[in-house]
Amino acid sequence: MADPLLDLTEFSLVWGPLRLPESAHSFADDWESQIYTPDEIADAILSVPGTRLIHPATQGWECWSAEWREEGRHIDFDIMACEFDPDNALRRGISLVWGDSKFEMHCLLSDVLKVWSGIQQRCPAAWLHNTDCLMYSPVSFAREFGG
């Protein structure tokens, strides 16, 4: 089976449960979500070989951007940060959480899975999400976009 080239802009990386159920939607509230800070997801993204920081968050997370690139293929990232109640039982003591990150891709399916796996090494509850609020695990994404 050929490794298809994916040119998709409607995906983002989002947080959720440690184990994503099949046919998961981001509006579901029947699981225990894992929450990450912007620093944690930025470190996870930048830890993937081939990824470089394009613009730091020195003037705010809305300015942060990074890119994974290999032989003309690429995945672009940003970070949306959201205020958070430091007394919230989901993750006490933090006042800023990662909301989501764009995951715009012009790359092979194998590239997506490799980069995503690298991010999940540090943030295991990071899932792909489309504009229809459908959340994907690596298995379900590969099944749908594997050609």
Specify the pLDDT at position 86.
Answer: 95
Two tokens, residue 135: 């959340």
pLDDT at 23: 79
Percent pLDDT > 70 in the chain is 98
| Global pTM value | 0.94
Which one, of 79, 37, 76, lies nearest residue 56 by Cα? 79
- What Cα–Cα distance (Å) separates residue 61 from each residue in 20, 22, 76, 82, 132? 27, 31, 15, 10, 25
Confidence of residue 1 (pLDDT cuts 50, 70, 90): low
Per-residue pLDDT, 142: 95
- Taking the C-alpha atoms of residue 23 and residue 2, their distance in angstroms, rounded to an integer, is 25
Q: Which of 8-12, 49-53, 66-70, 88-92 has the lowest mean pLDDT?
A: 88-92
Task: State the average pLDDT for the chain.
Answer: 94
Q: What is the pLDDT of residues 27-63, one digit of tens each?
A: 877 788 899 999 999 999 999 999 999 999 999 999 9
Cα 129 off chain centre by: 8
By the 8 A CB rule, do 74 and 93 touch?
Answer: no
Average pLDDT over residues 116-123: 98
Q: Which domains can be identified in the chain, with CATH numbers?
A: 5-9+31-142 (3.30.310)
